[in-house]
Chains A and B, each alone.
Chain A
Amino acid sequence: GQQVMQIPQYQHVQEGEDFTTYCNSSTTLSNIQWYKQRPGGHPVFLIQLVKSGEVKKQKRLTFQFGEAKKNSSLHITATQTTDVGTYFCAASGSARQLTFGSGTQLTVLP
């Protein structure tokens, strides 16, 4: 099956600093999705990237899909305490089942 590697596992930043998490796959992905999970909560869909080289923005969040469709990144500009949580990338399979990356747990220090 698909495997998606995600780094870093943990990231502590000072409020106002930027944050980036990266996902890599050894195989070409049809699409990649990003989710945020708050402590004690469930994953919440953020975005889906489908096209090679695609870049999408949601306010302070910027999502990129690599040209080869094997890697993706999520960048948060000027983090806020509300950004705290674990960010997962996930690759979609043929039946739309998701293979999740290991996640990056973001802590924002006020």
Chain B
Amino acid sequence: GAVVSQHPSRVICKSGTSVKIECRSLDFQATTMFWYRQFPKQSLMLMATSNEGSKATYEQGVEKDKFLINHASLTLSTLTVTSAHPEDSSFYICSARRYDEQYFGPGTRLTVT
């Protein structure tokens, strides 16, 4: 149990366009989901905490208008990268909290050309 899916797994987009990434908890409900970003050979950096039915909490330095987060249901959170630029190219990973453990999605590799 405790499976988290992410879609798409890989996306290439042009600079200036927007990309939506979905994170789903498949077999449990998650009131809280987290979005992380990981650059090559670096650690995971928390971007924001997504709470079902309320606004996301963003970490310092993360632009809320650029990285739009919506947690419309107990099993789905979405991250939209608006007006993407090449420096936004990264590995985006979500996780869903179940009790004291976090379960990570497989990640989405975003490449902005």
Residues of A bordering B, CB below 8 Å: 1, 31, 33, 41-45, 48, 88, 92, 95-103, 105
Nearest first, the 3 A-B pairs at minimum CB distance are A42-B104, A100-B43, A100-B44
Bound-complex Cα distance A20 to B43 (A): 18
Collect the chain A residues with CB atoms within 8 Å of residue B60's CB: 1
Distance between B22 CB and nearest chain A CB, rounded to angstroms? 15
In Å, the complex CA distance between A32 and B93 comes to: 20
Which of B42, B95, B100, B102 has most A Cβ within 10 Å?
A: B102
Q: Is the CB of A43 within 8 A of B44?
A: yes
How many interface residues does chain B have, given as a range? 20 to 34
A97 B46 Cβ-Cβ under 8 A: yes
Residues of B within 8 A of A1 (CB): 59-60
Complex CA gap A31/B104 in Å reads: 19
Contacts of B107 in A (CB 8 A): 41-42
B87 at the interface (CB under 8 A from A): no
B window 91-109: CB within 8 A of A: 93, 95, 97, 100-107
Q: Chain B residues with Cβ under 8 A from A48's Cβ?
A: 100-101
Q: How far is the CB of A5 from chain B (nearest CB, A)?
A: 11
The yes or no answer to B32 lying at the interface (CB within 8 A) is yes
Contacts A/B (CB < 8 Å), 13 sampled: A1-B60, A33-B102, A41-B107, A42-B104, A44-B104, A45-B102, A48-B101, A92-B100, A95-B49, A98-B102, A100-B43, A100-B44, A101-B43
